[in-house]
Chains A and B, each alone.
Chain A
Amino acid sequence: DTGVSQDPRHKITKRGQNVTFRCDPISEHNRLYWYRQTLGQGPEFLTYFQNEAQLEKSRLLSDRFSAERPKGSFSTLEIQRTEQGDSAMYLCASSLAGGAGEFFGPGTRLTVL
């Protein structure tokens, strides 16, 4: 296992379309996080899972956003009816419980036209 992977790396879509991103964490990590980063800003927390349970969601995560981690392994983040303001880098990270530190994936760059 070489680290956290994300797919796709880049996604261009038209406004109003739905998109889904996938994150594969480091295999033994039970915590998985999603962050969003816009140009010139630090990442902002969206949500996190411990195993398959979604434990916290940010207010940034509107009703158009949904995240799942069905078997406690990989996770998906879906955005419905995309808007131009959704254009950002979506970052996934994983860690062991207990504050050992997150390992981040390369991110998915979303552009909404």
Chain B
Amino acid sequence: KQEVTQIPAALSVPEGENLVLNCSFTDSAIYNLQWFRQDPGKGLTSLLLIQSSQREQTSGRLNASLDKSSGRSTLYIAASQPGDSATYLCAVRKGTQGGSEKLVFGKGTKLTVNP
């Protein structure tokens, strides 16, 4: 059974700091990995999707890396802003060839960026 763990559970940083969020998964046979952002009481917004054959993806101030063999991914946020405050969720998909099955999520990291 796939299990996804996110560390730390919560993180508070001053504005402008660079930070790293960690995600680990127990079964390395994944199809892809997604990072999401969730604001309180809201749905999920997809940030980055990394296919199993890729090592990293970048979007603006965000960079996500994937080390499938060790079962780890990191989300790097550069020059953090108060607007980045949210819960960040990591999710992996175990898909068959060309397939797309359910996402298995971690519990998330709650990020607070202080002005």
Question: A-side interface residues toward B, CB under 8 Å?
Answer: 4, 31, 33, 35, 40-45, 48, 56, 58, 89, 91, 93, 95, 97-107, 109
Q: Shortest 9 CB-CB distances between A and B: which pairs?
A: A42-B105, A45-B102, A104-B44, A101-B49, A106-B43, A99-B100, A104-B43, A107-B43, A42-B107
Q: Please, which residue of chain B has its CB at the minimum distance from the CB of A31?
A: B100
B29 at the interface (CB under 8 A from A): no
Assess whether A45 is in contact with B100, with CB atoms less than 8 Å apart.
no
Q: Kindly list chain B residues whose C-beta atoms are within 8 Å of the C-beta of A93.
A: 44
Question: B-side interface residues toward A, CB under 8 Å?
Answer: 4, 31-32, 34, 36, 41-46, 49, 51, 89, 91, 93, 95, 98-108
Assess whether A56 is in contact with B108, with CB atoms less than 8 Å apart.
no
Assess whether B102 is in contact with A33, with CB atoms less than 8 Å apart.
yes
Q: Please, which residue of chain B has its CB at the minimum distance from the CB of A95?
A: B100
Assess whether A104 is in contact with B104, with CB atoms less than 8 Å apart.
no
Assess whether B42 is in contact with A106, with CB atoms less than 8 Å apart.
yes
Among A91, A95, A109, contact of B44 (Cβ-Cβ < 8 Å): A91
- Cα of A101 to Cα of B51 in the assembled complex, Å: 10
- Cα of A41 to Cα of B91 in the assembled complex, Å: 12
Extra pairs beyond A45-B103, A98-B100, A104-B45 (19, CB < 8 Å): A33-B103, A42-B4, A42-B91, A42-B105, A43-B44, A43-B91, A44-B105, A45-B104, A48-B102, A91-B44, A93-B44, A99-B51, A100-B49, A102-B34, A102-B46, A104-B44, A106-B43, A107-B42, A109-B41
Q: Kindly list chain A residues whose C-beta atoms are within 8 Å of the C-beta of B101.
A: 48, 56
Q: Could you pull out 17 A-B pairs where Cβ atoms are within 8 angstroms? A: A33-B103, A41-B107, A42-B106, A42-B107, A43-B105, A45-B103, A48-B102, A89-B41, A97-B100, A99-B93, A99-B99, A100-B49, A100-B100, A102-B34, A104-B43, A105-B43, A109-B41
- Cα of A64 to Cα of B31 in the assembled complex, Å: 32
Among B43, B49, B98, B107, contact of A91 (Cβ-Cβ < 8 Å): B43
Q: Kindly list chain A residues whose C-beta atoms are within 8 Å of the C-beta of B51.
A: 99
Give chain A nearest CB distance to B95 CB in angstroms.
Answer: 6
- Cα of A2 to Cα of B52 in the assembled complex, Å: 29
